[in-house]
Amino acid sequence: MDLENKIALVTGGSLGIGRATVLALAGEGADVAFTYLGFRKHKGEAEEVLSEVRKLGRKCLAIESDVSKFKEAHDVVQKVLDEFGGLHILINNAGITRDAVTWKMDEKQWDDVIDVNLKGTFNFVRAVSAVFRAQKMGKIVNIASINGMRGKFGQVNYAASKAGIIGLTKTVAKELGSYNVNVNAVAPGMIETDLTQDLSEEVKQRSLSEIVLDRFGLPEDVANVIVMLVSEKGKHITGEVIKVDGGQYI
């Protein structure tokens, strides 16, 4: 398996793309830690992911954490190092939406999305950078969005956060390249996840009409690209943004 003896950390790993990524990494031989929020159903969902990874014969650690908290990110990374003895892969997946048109968006809606999506990504990149520099190797994949590349009506906060992730990705790729660290972003289009379940049928049909392949993506479609990027197959790819959108951006 491509990721045998590798240790990965996935933020927001109990649902959707994060869950699919945790399972895909484990399926390729990696031991995996993931973060989750401790409210709603997330604790139960985290337990289910733990169980599924262990059935694959891999070690797994679920850590309750708020990715927007700078110190918590460092604490999570230290827990992974203490538990597994190393860390080789970081997937920044945790994200939220708080949609509204600009003239109706309040300060909290803006701050919440920027803090989780953009600051949360920075927090974990910052936390692993010393580890990856010291060992002179590492893989980082940040989850962006095609809406961070093209904009989206009613998502000024989300689009700005994802555009920021793209800028962060390219900058960190330049900064860590000499340490043999690959840093890339994946930009999904419309993917069937918990974030899209509550969208109106009108919004879904409008999105579907944009997609060349005439179908919504699945979390596994994104996870498969992530696995490629963190494997030896992606060793000469860095600073890139790879769309996984069925042609929605075209």
- CA angle (103, 108, 111) in 5-degree steps: 100
CA distance 181 to 168: 14
**Neighbour-count burial of 154, counting CB atoms closer than 10 A to its CB (0-12 exposed, 13-18 middle, 19+ buried):** middle
Instruction: Tally the residues of the chain.
Output: 250
Strands (E) in the chain, as ranges, are 7-10, 31-36, 60-64, 89-92, 138-143, 181-188, 241-244
The span from the CA of 95 to the CA of 144, in Å, is 9
Q: Residue 202 corresponds to which tokens in the numbers above?
A: 């009108």
| 42 CB burial (10 A radius; 0-12, 13-18, 19+) | middle
Active site members: 158
